[in-house]
Amino acid sequence: MGNSKIAECVKLVALAVLAAPVGALGQPASLVASGAVRTIPESFASKRTPVWSGNALVVGEGPSSEPAAFVAFDRTGAVVFNAALSIPEAAHNRVDNWARGNDGTVAACGWSFARDGSAAPFIAWFSPDGDSEHLIRTEPYGPTLIAIAPDGTFWTVGHEQNSRLSEKGANLDAGVVRHFDRSGKTLGAFIPRSSFQVQDVIQINVNSGFLVASADRTGWFHYSHIDGSGAYVEISAAGEITSYPIPQLPALKSLSVEGIAMTDSGDVFVRMIDLGVRPWHPYMFRLNRPARQWFPVALPPTIAPEDIGELFGASGSKLVFVQPGASKTLVRFFKLAPGS
């Protein structure tokens, strides 16, 4: 074979590698069941997607866009938290996201609306027993995602808007990821709003991203449902920002991300569906930071993908999958198989 042909073959192989789904080039890790399937005797099928954090499943009760109360269930199905949101002088509230900390604190973020329609952003957090509520005003910054770090501080994603929920007059160089202490003091602001094009602002929305926090890093997975663009971004305790491309799926005509999880050891997993392929098939990936790639994770072959549920988070070193049903909710725990 001539040198030109060899060069052309090398070029084609390189292009094939670049076009292959990220992670398809590595050996897949695999998951195994860890512990019994737990049953929560309540259906969440018609409610806002619950979240698993702080070793509990936290559910917003009330209208889908305006939950007025929060209930948390532990892995046995027992209620470990129950509290109602109350913001003085608010005609109604829009809660975008909520989370539970390791100490049992539950926090929520969103907007409260006055009778004249003007809005004010907030972070509300409850004591672990649910008996006391605290409110932090964050205007002009409106948080849409929230996570509680192990030290009790709050990480959020959002952007600046005025009281009419418009960016008119907003500082477009302000950071979209912010770190707050419990007094409301801003400890850090990262990733300027101006780095997102107009059509990409949807990636800052609660429905297009996930936020997780550990002791030494915070991770934000943001994406577009339409074309699969986006990134997974990590911010270290020292404020260093690292961006990783999101996994690429076979067709990638339309993307749905079911959830991400960060274990106590820092492993990050994501579960995705390529809506451009029928029948829909879920994919699991695990981040390899040194390689800056996502490698596939195989689910147990003895369990059908539709019976596993969606990835809701992590509990220690275990991944938590939740499957809402008509009258009950199943919670399953998995861990990496030895050698994965």
CATH classification of the domain holding 185: 2.130.10.10
- Of 202, 229, 246, the residue at which a domain comes to its end is 246
What global pTM score does this model have? 0.89
List the beta bridge partners of residue 239: none
Tens of pLDDT, residues 144-178: 999 999 999 999 999 999 999 999 999 999 999 99
Please tell me whether residues 207 and 304 are part of one structural domain: no
- The C-alpha atoms of residue 3 and residue 202 are separated, in whole angstroms, by 48
Strand arrangement of the beta sheet that strand 154-160 belongs to: 141-148, 154-160, 175-180, 186-192
Is the pLDDT at 13 greater than 80? The verdict is no
- Of 224, 246, 268, the residue at which a domain comes to its end is 246
List the beta bridge partners of residue 133: 126
Inside any domain, residue 104: yes
Is the pLDDT at 256 greater than 50? The verdict is yes
Is the pLDDT at 282 greater than 90? The verdict is no
Please tell me whether residues 336 and 202 are part of one structural domain: no
Please tell me whether residues 262 and 339 are part of one structural domain: yes
| Buried residues in 85-94 as b, exposed as e (16+ CB within 10 A) | bebeebeebb
Containing 190, the helix (H) or strand (E) segment is strand 186-192
Task: With cut-offs at 50, 70 and 90, classify the pLDDT of residue 98.
Answer: very high
pLDDT of residue 76: 86
| Buried residues in 220-241 as b, exposed as e (16+ CB within 10 A) | bbbbbbeebebebbbbeeeeee
Range of the domain at 328: 24-43+254-340
Please tell me whether residues 157 and 109 are part of one structural domain: yes
Inside any domain, residue 320: yes
Mean pLDDT, rounded, of the chain: 86
Please tell me whether residues 134 and 275 are part of one structural domain: no
Please tell me whether residues 196 and 271 are part of one structural domain: no
Q: Do the Cβ atoms of 57 and 40 come closer than 8 Å?
A: yes
Task: With cut-offs at 50, 70 and 90, classify the pLDDT of residue 64.
Answer: low
Inside any domain, residue 82: yes
Using a pLDDT cut of 70, give the percent of the chain over it: 88
Inside any domain, residue 281: yes
Average pLDDT of 169-196?
96
pLDDT of residue 198: 82
- Of 214, 246, 278, the residue at which a domain comes to its end is 246
Question: How many structural domains is the chain composed of?
Answer: 2
Inside any domain, residue 326: yes
Please tell me whether residues 143 and 57 are part of one structural domain: yes
Task: With cut-offs at 50, 70 and 90, classify the pLDDT of residue 339.
Answer: confident
Average pLDDT of 259-286?
89
pLDDT of residue 6: 29
Please tell me whether residues 289 and 237 are part of one structural domain: no
Inside any domain, residue 6: no
Please tell me whether residues 104 and 76 are part of one structural domain: yes
Is the pLDDT at 44 greater than 90? The verdict is no
Inside any domain, residue 3: no
Q: Do the Cβ atoms of 53 and 99 come closer than 8 Å?
A: yes
- The C-alpha atoms of residue 47 and residue 327 are separated, in whole angstroms, by 13
Please tell me whether residues 226 and 202 are part of one structural domain: yes
Measured distance between the N- and C-terminal CA atoms of the chain, rounded to whole angstroms: 40
Phi then psi dihedrals of residue 336, to 5 deg: -70, 135
Please tell me whether residues 76 and 159 are part of one structural domain: yes
Task: With cut-offs at 50, 70 and 90, classify the pLDDT of residue 127.
Answer: very high
Tens of pLDDT, residues 73-84: 998 889 999 999
Which of the pair, 232 or 63, is modelled with greater confidence?
A: 232
Inside any domain, residue 204: yes
pLDDT of residue 4: 35
Flag the least confident range among 2-16, 47-61, 248-262.
2-16
| Buried residues in 303-329 as b, exposed as e (16+ CB within 10 A) | eeeeebbebbbbbeebbbbbbbeeeeb
Please tell me whether residues 242 and 275 are part of one structural domain: no
Average pLDDT of 87-108?
93
Is the pLDDT at 340 greater than 50? The verdict is yes
Is the pLDDT at 207 greater than 70? The verdict is yes
